[in-house]
A = this chain, B = another copy of it.
Amino acid sequence: MNTLGNKLRVTVFGQSHAPAIGCVIEGLPAGFAPDMEKVSAFMARRAPGQNAWSTTRKESDIPEILSGLVEGVTCGAPLAMRIVNSNQHSKDYSGLKRTPRPSHADYTALVKYGNSYDIRGGGQFSGRLTAPLCFAGALALQLLEKRGITVAAHIAQVGGVADAAPDFAAVSAPDLSALNGMEFPVFDGEAGTKMKAVIEDARMSADSVGGMIRCFVLGLPAGIGEPMFGGVENRLAAALFGIPAVRGVSFGDGFAAASMRGSEHNDPFIMDGETVSVRTNHAGGVLGGITSGMPLVVNIAVKPTASIGQAQDTVDLETKTNTSLTIHGRHDPCIVPRAVPVAEAVAALTLLDMLMED
């Protein structure tokens, strides 16, 4: 359902047009004083309305603590937080219940919940629900940092334009810090410029474009994860598919491994001083579901935003006839840049949970 994690557990609530969205975080260690400036800065990376490649819609997104924090320090009780929904449009959404938007959850939600489904602004399927996830993830990132673990993602692809991929065996903490500081995190600035052009082009065509996020985690100890269904891949994939628009999750070379030979894909072990290391890291830091101590590399495919300004074919559920629909309003021509911190947040929450369980 809306709950992620075992020992560190986040329950997300809210709909786009409910009085509030928010989350309850169980299992945070007591005595932790989160840096709220950093939390805000992290959440701002996800917030819309900030630059040319996201929707112009603005959200204030100020988290209000309901419990669990006493004078800025966790007390051991669940940390509950809400964000009041203030920027809702009062326009009529009822039409959407008749003509579901292609590739949205409108139709499946109507089948599941019936006519009571809150379709306004995408309801509980709205990307807005990732704001509380980012809040929770920002706390997890700070707790991971205390353990010497860094999480950062880059925009690996937008449309047909790919960013440079670093050597998975050699990606470094400074590389990740650099990514964390960028508004449009790419390794190759030129590729970034092209990506922005692709996004702008999609916007000008009242269209949208998909992309790929690649998330790195440095500093994970070897030995984390359980075999079979409790592995790092199982857990991360289960979590990352909770981000709206994600269509695929892979590790290391991912689907490219399908075209490779064992002699290419295998990662030879080598000694790095006293430490076991690998010459290549096609595996992306996980073997048999268990971390190898090498950089963790997870790739996330993001589909093009379903809401586009062009007229689209759909059905009228009342008359049971074919019809056409034009979606109005402000939408992200490419959700990938704003999904980067969400991916980091979800990865951080999952890995911290696994570390706490270990």
- B288 and A67 contact, CB distance less than 8 A: no
**Chain B proximity of A314: nearest CB distance (Å):** 4
Contact with B along A15-28 (1 / 0, CB 8 A): 10011111010110
Contact with B along A303-335 (1 / 0, CB 8 A): 111111010111101001110000000000000
In the complex, which residues of chain B have a beta carbon less than 8 angstroms from the beta carbon of A124?
Answer: 75-78, 227
**Chain B proximity of A237: nearest CB distance (Å):** 4
Q: How many A residues touch the partner, as a band?
A: 35 or more
Q: Taking the complex as formed, is A59 at the interface, i.e. its CB lies under 8 A from any CB of chain B? A: no
Q: Taking the complex as formed, is A157 at the interface, i.e. its CB lies under 8 A from any CB of chain B? A: yes
Contact with B along A89-107 (1 / 0, CB 8 A): 0000000000010111101
- B80 and A266 contact, CB distance less than 8 A: no
Copy total for this chain: 4
- B76 and A257 contact, CB distance less than 8 A: no
- A242 and B228 contact, CB distance less than 8 A: yes
In the complex, which residues of chain B have a beta carbon less than 8 angstroms from the beta carbon of A7?
Answer: 357
Contact with B along A266-282 (1 / 0, CB 8 A): 11111100101011001
- B210 and A1 contact, CB distance less than 8 A: no
Among A100, A103, A105, chain B packs the most CB atoms within 10 A around the CB of A103
A to B CB contacts below 8 Å, 20 in the list? A1-B78, A3-B3, A14-B67, A14-B77, A70-B116, A74-B116, A102-B267, A105-B289, A109-B288, A159-B259, A159-B260, A202-B261, A211-B258, A234-B242, A237-B237, A238-B238, A257-B302, A262-B304, A268-B312, A268-B313
- B111 and A160 contact, CB distance less than 8 A: no
**7 smallest A-B Cβ distances: which pairs?**
A105-B288, A248-B250, A76-B113, A208-B262, A268-B313, A77-B124, A30-B113
Residue of B nearest to A273 (CB): B320
Chain A 217-253 residues near chain B, CB threshold 8 A: 222-223, 225-231, 233-235, 237-239, 241-242, 244, 246-253
Chain A 117-158 residues near chain B, CB threshold 8 A: 117-118, 123-125, 129, 157-158
Known contacts A229-B239, A248-B257, then 17 further A-B pairs from the complex at CB < 8 Å, ordered by chain A residue: A1-B9, A18-B77, A19-B65, A30-B112, A111-B293, A205-B261, A209-B261, A231-B241, A237-B241, A237-B249, A241-B289, A247-B257, A248-B249, A257-B301, A266-B308, A266-B312, A268-B313
Q: Taking the complex as formed, is A265 at the interface, i.e. its CB lies under 8 A from any CB of chain B? A: yes
In the complex, which residues of chain B have a beta carbon less than 8 angstroms from the beta carbon of A56?
Answer: none
In the complex, which residues of chain B have a beta carbon less than 8 angstroms from the beta carbon of A13?
Answer: 24, 66-68, 77-80
Q: Taking the complex as formed, is A169 at the interface, i.e. its CB lies under 8 A from any CB of chain B? A: no
Q: Taking the complex as formed, is A88 at the interface, i.e. its CB lies under 8 A from any CB of chain B? A: no
Q: Taking the complex as formed, is A283 at the interface, i.e. its CB lies under 8 A from any CB of chain B? A: yes
